[in-house]
Amino acid sequence: MPSNSFTILAGTANPPLAAAIARELGVALGACAVGRFPDGEVMVQLHDPVRRKDVFLVQPTSSPVNDHLMELLAMADACRRAAAASITAIVPYFGYGRADKRHGRREPITGRVVADLLQVVGISHVVTVDLHTPQIEGFFHAPVDSLTAVPILCEALSDRVSPDWLIVSTDVGRVQMAACYAQCLGLPVVILRKRRNSASQTEVTHIVGDVSNRSCLLVDDIVSTGGTLAESITALLKAGARPDIIIAVTHGLLLPGAREKLDHPAVREVFVTDSVGVPREGWPALHVVSIAPLIAGALERLLETRGDARHKTTSPS
């Protein structure tokens, strides 16, 4: 589709990723301003027209989650009121994705609440990367394209691992992701069973598989405080794994204290994507792999499909 038929707008959560996606597509970012009133309320102004355009809003809902979510909602509402043809939310990291079910009788399913909010403001399509659980797609009536960063991470890791390595899933919920790594790299999978003691503390109860004298590629979808990965490293070393571990995670939230937990003598390197803004200064073991080509490719296919559909609609019978 011609470049003037769509526009890409960025919130404040990860402008460099939005700019990289725009470069991949050969367009400039649309002009908009996202700020705050003195009391903290979100302010949005669109400086470019979006009338009859397909609008793509790039905004991971990373920390501070509520602020970035509100920005996304406000931007979508501004585009809807400015007569955009369609509004697609590019949410590489979907905040509240871990709140996908109730653990008790008096808890919210906040992931569903967020899905409802996105649709109420006019978002008609969502593109995301490595959802924490696949059932989140079912919270939406709108189409959801759930991409995976595993192949591009495997490409970056291919020269770091050898046939005697193991893929280690941090818990049972990540087995499918670990299987994707195993398929890409041709390595066997070991599973850690864990028990969650609180929102920030987990405990590895046992290991399914033999890790003795093996190097390990430890994989997960999210690293926030680093507690789960730190417990996993301790459990692997205690079980006889070599002190030669690489960590690969899609969403490197890396909250305060996470680096200290992962800066372990047994950890050779840490790989994350740029789905969220990653503080990488002064950490030579950290490698950031861009998902901009992955998302840009998905948007190209989406624009082609929409263009074909509109051509059929307007063509004489």
Number of Cβ within a 10 Å radius of residue 183: 14
Phi, psi of 248 (to 5 degrees): -130, 120
pLDDT at 288: 97
Q: Which of 162, 154, 191 minimizes the C-alpha distance to 176?
A: 191
pLDDT tier, 308 (very low <50, low <70, confident <90, very high otherwise): low
pLDDT at 104: 75
Beta bridge partners of 126: 89, 144
Distance between CA atoms of 273 and 153, rounded to whole angstroms?
Answer: 8
Is residue 64 reached through a cis peptide bond, with omega within 30 degrees of 0 on the bond before it? yes
**Burial (CB count <10 Å: 0-12, 13-18, 19+), residue 152:** middle
Digit-coded pLDDT (tens) for 185-240: 999 999 998 776 665 566 777 899 999 999 999 999 999 999 999 999 999 999 99
Average pLDDT of span 35-52: 96
- 299: CB partners within 8 A, 6+ apart: 21, 25, 56, 88, 90, 127
Digit-coded pLDDT (tens) for 251-288: 999 999 999 999 999 999 999 999 999 987 889 999 99
User: Which member of 101, 194, 261, 312 is catalytic?
Assistant: 194
Instruction: Give start and end residues of each alpha helix (H) in 15-82.
Output: 15-25, 65-81
**Burial (CB count <10 Å: 0-12, 13-18, 19+), residue 215:** buried
pTM above 0.85? yes
Phi, psi of 219 (to 5 degrees): -120, 150
Average pLDDT of span 152-165: 96
Distance between CA atoms of 288 and 232, rounded to whole angstroms?
Answer: 22
Domains and CATH numbers, the chain: 3-148+293-314 (3.40.50.2020), 150-289 (3.40.50.2020)
Average pLDDT of span 82-94: 97
Residue 53 annotated among the catalytic residues of the structure? no
Distance between CA atoms of 59 and 8, rounded to whole angstroms?
Answer: 11
pLDDT tier, 312 (very low <50, low <70, confident <90, very high otherwise): low
Q: Are 44 and 74 contacting, i.e. CB atoms less than 8 angstroms apart?
A: yes
